[in-house]
Amino acid sequence: MLNLVLFGPPGAGKGTQSAKIIERYQLIHISTGDLFRKHLSEGTELGKLARKYMDEGNLVPDEVVIGMVDDKISTTTGARGFIFDGFPRTVHQAESLDALLAKKEKTISGMIMLEVPNDELVTRLLKRGETSGRADDQDESKIQNRLNVYNEETLPVADYYQQQGKLAKVHGVGEIDTIFNDLSAQIDKLA
């Protein structure tokens, strides 16, 4: 089983590259941002709870996120593997994911980090905001908050996987297909 974490700041291209990766490697995509947005559009209690955090660009509490991921993993059968996108975002989430997978005799194969400079991220997110309808992409101060949250709360997750010898880095600026080839080269080392 190939279980990947695709890591990187908001706007790094995780969603775009995940779509290509799941097609080539036949993995199940678990994007916690997408799952929350689905809850939001369906008006569930979970969606209502998540909204106030998402609108400000803050993290939804760990236990809420972990419960949602546990549910998704547990209800998926016959998967060749998972690609986690936008999760884990705190060290506590990473530890919980390890524990959750261990119970199912699974483990994370590797984490790949997409590296993109800050000014490029802001440009990309504002551009996405013109069409995505996402409130958190339309306001520069919210974007800045998301980048600060990433640097303070999420970046330590990269150290967590590096300590386990599971971290690889890929330059995330350039042609989408070139970046995908670089990602695939890293994934092929794990498979």
Contacts to ligand AMP by CB under 6 A: 10, 32-33, 36, 53-54, 57-60, 65, 86-87, 89, 93, 136, 146
Active site residue 51: no
Active-site position among 20, 72, 106, 128:
128
Among residues 144, 97, 83, the alpha carbon closest in space to that of 118 is found at 144
Question: What is the separation of C-alpha 20 from the centre of its chain, rounded to a whole number of angstroms?
Answer: 15
Least distance to ligand AMP, CB of residue 128, Å = 10
Q: Which one, 25 or 55, has the nearer CB to ligand AMP?
A: 55
Rounded distance, CA 8 to CA 3, Å?
17
Q: Which one, 27 or 60, has the nearer CB to ligand AMP?
A: 60
Active site residue 128: yes
Residue type, 111: M
Which residue is at the shortest CB distance from ligand AMP? 33
Listed in sequence order, the residues at least 6 apart from 70 whose beta carbon sits closer than 8 Å to its beta carbon are 100
Least distance to ligand AMP, CB of residue 189, Å = 26
Active site residue 134: yes
Asked whether 87 and 30 are in contact (CB, 8 A), the reply is yes
Least distance to ligand AMP, CB of residue 50, Å = 7
Asked whether 176 and 18 are in contact (CB, 8 A), the reply is no
Active-site position among 37, 124, 142, 146:
146
Among residues 73, 71, 40, 70, the alpha carbon closest in space to that of 54 is found at 40
DSSP per-residue codes, 89-105 = -SHHHHHHHHHHHHHTT
Q: Which one, 12 or 187, has the nearer CB to ligand AMP?
A: 12
Residue 170 CB coordination number (10 Å): 21
Least distance to ligand AMP, CB of residue 165, Å = 23
Least distance to ligand AMP, CB of residue 188, Å = 26
Q: Which one, 71 or 188, has the nearer CB to ligand AMP?
A: 71
Rounded distance, CA 16 to CA 34, Å?
13
Q: Which one, 45 or 105, has the nearer CB to ligand AMP?
A: 45
Enzyme catalytic residues: 14, 89, 128, 134, 146
